[in-house]
Amino acid sequence: MTEAKQDQADWLTGQLLIAMPAMQDPRFFQSVIFICAHNPDGAMGVVLNRPIKAPNFPELLQQLGVEPSPPKRELPVGNGGPVDDKRGFVLHSPDWAADGSLEIDDQHVLSANLDILRAVAAGGGPERARLVLGYAGWGAGQLDEEMKQNSWLNVPADEAIIYDTDYSTKWQRALAKLHINPAQLAAGAGHA
């Protein structure tokens, strides 16, 4: 990553973050995070490779009183991060949006309302979507500092890594986009 690129306020928006092997925070060990927003005020993203077993999609809809039950379509449910972990976020393709949806880039939208869950339960909604509970958040300058300390690598978003349910290989596949073998990755490696 060039210094000029790092100086741009939103250079990580729409990118995947890949935790370095030396990541000290166990909540982010071998995490792959999609960055939804990165600006001078901070950053927000959702972890892509932490599935949760309960509640599953039908159970979550039942808790929220969303019909129909059972749903005509289901979404995988994951742990999006340690912040506000009772709140749901749907990262999805741009073919569906509602008031309050955040357009991340031309290919990704983040929605956090019941309308999207109702649409999916009824068999509609966006073509590609994943539901996470919680998010990863950084204060002003915090993520930039972590990048300088080599806590993370970044790579352009990959639709398969974002949406598929092969959770156990997402970290390795994200590293492979950089032509990196995890076994040979040194803790002090630089930025991609």
β-pair type (77-79, 42-47): unpaired
Residues of the chain predicted below pLDDT 70:
1-9, 186-192
Position 97 scores a pLDDT of 87
What's the pTM value of the predicted model, to 2 decimals? Answer: 0.90
Nearest to 52 by CA among 20, 23, 86, 24: 86
Domains recognised in the chain with CATH numbers:
3-87+132-184 (3.40.1740.10)
CA distances from 110 to 1, 100, 153, 170, 190 (A): 26, 9, 22, 20, 30
Position 186 scores a pLDDT of 58
